[in-house]
Amino acid sequence: MFANYIYVYIYICVCQLFLLMEMGKNEEALVVCSDRSTGVGITIWDMKTGEQLLHIPTCAAAPHGLLCLRNQFLVASQSNRHGSFGGGSIFIWPLNKPQSPLRSYTMEAIGPLSCTKDGLYIAGGASSGNAYLWEVANGRLLRTWHAHNKSLKCMVFSDDDSLLICGSTDGIICVWSLISLLDVEDSGSSPPLLHYSSEHRSSITGLVTMSAGARSIFVSSSLDGTCKVWDLISGRLLQTHVYPTSITAITHHPVEQLLFSGSVDGKIFVNMLDIGLVEDPLVTTEDQAFELKGHNGSITALTFSGFGLISASEDFTFCLWDTINRVVIRRFNHKKGAVTNMVVINQSALFSMSNHRRVPNQFRVSLLQKYPQPSNSGKGMVPFLSLSACLNKQTATNFQGNNLLHHLIFDSEREKTPAMMQMKMEKSIDDRMLVTSMTKHVMEMNKHLQSRLLDMMQCRLLCPHETDSPPKKKRQTPD
Ligand SMILES: *[C@@H]1O[C@H](CO)[C@@H](O)[C@H](O)[C@H]1NC(C)=O
Ligand SMILES: *[C@@H]1O[C@H](CO)[C@@H](O)[C@H](O)[C@H]1NC(C)=O
Ligand SMILES: *[C@@H]1O[C@H](CO)[C@@H](O)[C@H](O)[C@H]1NC(C)=O
């Protein structure tokens, strides 16, 4: 009898789960947030019905500071946090469990964020011009470097994740290869730049990457009233589109080569990007572009969903467009503040991994570390640590535990509780143990090398004629 009830209960649960999954299939949702105040938070809207699906409190993200990681997590850099002395924070919400975000603290406030498509790395930029690169799974801060001289405004990874493109308020665009950023051997120095451009006369406001035929390109928009089209591989400027006013946001059609440029007066210009074999370095677009008029304030964000173009503006509304007929299909009010970020997600993400189920191969995220790890900062240490065969297991685990501790300490730096002091003590003891065991290891290697050297010298003394012979021969001489 009782067992029957359980079966029925489980059956109903499964049915519900199935229904939710069916509902969420192929349906898109729009995630929006503002930078006005942390109280505004994040809202997720159903694009089809216009209903609000979810509200996440406590978030204020700077433009380009919100992203969706692997369709499983929302990540947002926080533009104003109380009580963090000049430092910043990045929040990560699991989409299926948004009430418990991971709160990571950073050395300085982070503005723009970008993640690789595979979700392995997150890059962030600060107003100092410093850039940061984290490994998502273990939270390691792999590299910090002085990327730009002025405040970073946009960062995007290329579609194949191989390049990172950054733009700053002084109109400079820099491109790095991810490989060079991951090169731990020279994490102390500045990574080599792949491309550098100072063509724009004012702040970069948007960067998008796309492919045009066989070519990979990226487009940059700027307050100088132009959009520039670049070859991603060579870094060459292919086209310049000139508009009557400052361009504040851009996006592109996922299939057709259409560029949408939002301007400071609320208009959205639509251009065909005709990237042919013949390069036309200057394109004045007034005659080719058509305009979408529906906003009273500056365009703050543009994105594309399966339902069409979505635009957000300082007039506190965001709109879904029918770009063929040039009319607004649906207007949303966001009275709490102008929308600075919009991200389209799959509704299935909100349901598919329902709270009751654990998906075995769920993607892992960790707290993002505030400081680079010792294994990265000490140049000479890296090769030693990679000689894991020489190091005994004990040392390796010590080291791992150490990282974790490090992490905890920096995260709760502000609270100097006795427990924290205790942890700090323990950490310094661990540090010393690690150093001692490393020293022992180095001394052993030294001894080994010395005896080898002695052997070789002896060999040379015994067989003086063989000094010029190749090493192969030397080995054949009997001891
Ligand atoms: C949304 O998820 C469904 C099923 O998980 C998938 O088939 C579909 O391609 C996804 N859509 C987008 C836009 O990612
Ligand atoms: C930063 O300034 C230095 C010195 O003026 C200059 O050499 C360098 O190219 C600048 N870097 C960027 C990314 O603008
Ligand atoms: C734009 O301004 C006009 C006139 O002031 C007003 O009638 C209209 O409702 C406004 N539109 C929006 C989207 O705020």
What is the CATH classification number for the domain harbouring 37?
2.130.10.10
Locate the ligand 3 atom nearest the alpha carbon of residue 317 and give its number: 13
pLDDT, mean over the chain: 79
Say how many Å lie between the CA of residue 147 and the centre of ligand 2: 9
Give per-residue pLDDT as tens, 59-106. Answer: 899 999 999 999 899 999 998 655 446 789 999 999 988 888 999 999
What is residue 376's predicted lDDT score, i.e. its pLDDT?
Answer: 44
Distances (CA, A) of 296 to 247, 308, 318, 343, 381: 15, 20, 11, 22, 58
User: Dihedrals φ, ψ of 281, to 5°?
Assistant: -65, -30
Contact 313, 295 (CB under 8 A): yes
Question: In this model, does residue 465 exceed pLDDT 60?
Answer: no
Q: Is residue 473 part of a domain?
A: no
Q: Is residue 362 part of a domain?
A: no
Locate the ligand 1 atom nearest the alpha carbon of residue 346 and give its number: 1
Locate the ligand 2 atom nearest the alpha carbon of residue 193 and give its number: 13
User: Dihedrals φ, ψ of 423, to 5°?
Assistant: -65, -40
**Res. 475 pLDDT band, cuts 50 70 90:** very low
* Shared-domain flag, residues 343 and 392: no
**Res. 463 pLDDT band, cuts 50 70 90:** low
* Shared-domain flag, residues 39 and 142: yes
Q: Is residue 418 part of a domain?
A: yes
Question: In this model, does residue 324 exceed pLDDT 50?
Answer: yes
- Ligand 3: which residue has its CA nearest to atom 10? 296
What is residue 113's predicted lDDT score, i.e. its pLDDT?
Answer: 97
Beta bridge partners of 124: 113, 132
Ligand 3 contacts CB of residue 314 (under 6 A): no
* Shared-domain flag, residues 206 and 307: yes
* Shared-domain flag, residues 103 and 205: yes
Task: Give the side-chain half-sphere CA count within 13 A for 386.
Answer: 8
Gap between the Cα atoms of 181 and 74, Å rounded: 24
Amino acid identity, position 152: L
Domain count, the chain: 2
Residue from 20, 21, 95, 348 whose mutation best tests the ligand 1 pocket (most atoms within 8 A of CB): 348
Say how many Å lie between the CA of residue 251 and the centre of ligand 3: 24
Give per-residue pLDDT as tens, 44-58. Answer: 999 888 899 999 988
What is residue 26's predicted lDDT score, i.e. its pLDDT?
Answer: 62
* Shared-domain flag, residues 410 and 346: no
- Ligand 3: which residue has its CA nearest to atom 1? 296
List the domain range (segments joined by +) for residue 411: 387-463
128-142, 317-331, 369-383, 394-408: the lowest-pLDDT one: 394-408
Closest-CA residue to 438 (of 400, 381, 376): 381
- Measured from the alpha carbon of residue 345, the closest ligand is 1
* Shared-domain flag, residues 97 and 197: yes
Q: Of 335-339, 342-346, 363-367, where does the model show the most confidence?
A: 342-346
Locate the ligand 2 atom nearest the alpha carbon of residue 172 and give its number: 14
What is residue 403's predicted lDDT score, i.e. its pLDDT?
Answer: 46
* Shared-domain flag, residues 11 and 152: yes
Question: In this model, does residue 116 exceed pLDDT 50?
Answer: yes
Q: Is residue 75 part of a domain?
A: yes
* Shared-domain flag, residues 148 and 210: yes
* Shared-domain flag, residues 40 and 118: yes
Say how many Å lie between the CA of residue 297 and the centre of ligand 3: 9
Give per-residue pLDDT as tens, 376-430. Answer: 444 433 333 333 333 343 343 344 444 444 444 444 444 456 666 666 666 666 6
Q: Taking the C-alpha atoms of 265, 270, 274 and 279 in order, what is their torsion angle to the nearest 10 degrees?
A: -10
* Shared-domain flag, residues 63 and 197: yes
Percent of the chain with pLDDT over 90: 49
Q: Is residue 365 part of a domain?
A: no
Strands, E, within 347-479: which ranges? Answer: none
* Shared-domain flag, residues 332 and 443: no
* Shared-domain flag, residues 344 and 391: no
Say how many Å lie between the CA of residue 262 and the centre of ligand 3: 17
Crossing angle for the helix pair 418-462 and 393-411, to the nearest 10 degrees = 140
Give per-residue pLDDT as tens, 193-232. Answer: 999 999 999 999 999 999 887 889 999 999 999 999 999 9
Q: Is residue 373 part of a domain?
A: no
Mean pLDDT calculated for residue range 244-271: 94
Q: Is residue 475 part of a domain?
A: no
Q: Is residue 381 part of a domain?
A: no
What is residue 214's predicted lDDT score, i.e. its pLDDT?
Answer: 80
